[in-house]
Amino acid sequence: MVRYAPSVSTPTLEVFGLAAPRELAFREEHGGFSLTLKRNCSISPSGLACVFVALAVVVLAIGIGFAIAGAWLILPFAGLEVLLLGGAFLLQARQAADYERIRLERDRLRVEVAEGRRVARYELDASRVGVEVEGSRVMVREAGKKLELGRYLDDASRKVFGAELKKRLRY
């Protein structure tokens, strides 16, 4: 059996006549599409963990050095610093994994929004969905339900995303 990879359609975003670096990769799937939007994070959660471990080792080594030299009161503050730094890194790592996944399958628009530990799933009738670009917001509406999409995109990319989503839902 031969399996073909789904094709990828990437509408380009042009600003002042130049192609911008950000593209939207709509994956063509079974007569529909799939698109996953994520935060633009400069470091992965595993990279962040490595940075935390390196900083924790340095801080604790300095604290232990001062404790050996007789200034033992530095060590509890070094431990507190490592705990607070770990908490801040944990909060950042949780938000780094946030995403929006938008799929069109068999006349159903499925949207999955992950924020921290919460994952919300929405299912809308694609034939009745309206897409509106309100300023810098992309709103999807269907039978009283209202959902904002593209929160992890910049304003220019959000407008391109809204136009492309509207075009694809009108097939």
Hey, what are 6's tokens? Answer: 């789904």
> Residues spanned by CATH 2.30.29 within the chain?
8-39+102-169
Q: Which helix (H) or strand (E) holds 67?
A: helix 45-68
Q: What is the structure's pLDDT at 19?
A: 44
Structure tokens at 152: 């992890």
Rounded to two decimals, the pTM is 0.66
pLDDT of 75: 93
What is the pLDDT, as a whole number, of residue 9?
Answer: 43
Q: For residue 90, what pLDDT is reported?
A: 86
Helix (H, G, I), strand (E, B) or coil at 106: coil
Report pLDDT for 24: 64
Position 17 scores a pLDDT of: 40
**Which one-letter amino acid corresponds to residue 55?**
L
| Residue 161 one-letter amino acid | F
Question: What was the pLDDT predicted at 145?
Answer: 82
CA-CA-CA-CA dihedral for 66, 68, 73, 75, to nearest 10: 70
Q: Evaluate whether the domain defined by 8-39+102-169 bears CATH number 2.40.50.
A: no
pLDDT at 10: 45
User: What's the pLDDT at 112?
Assistant: 93
22, 152 contact by CB (below 8 A):
no
- At residue 106, the pLDDT reads 80
Q: Tell me which residues of the chain have a pLDDT lower than 50.
A: 1-21
Residue at token pair 């949207």: 111
CA dihedral over 69, 71, 75, 81, signed as positive or negative: negative
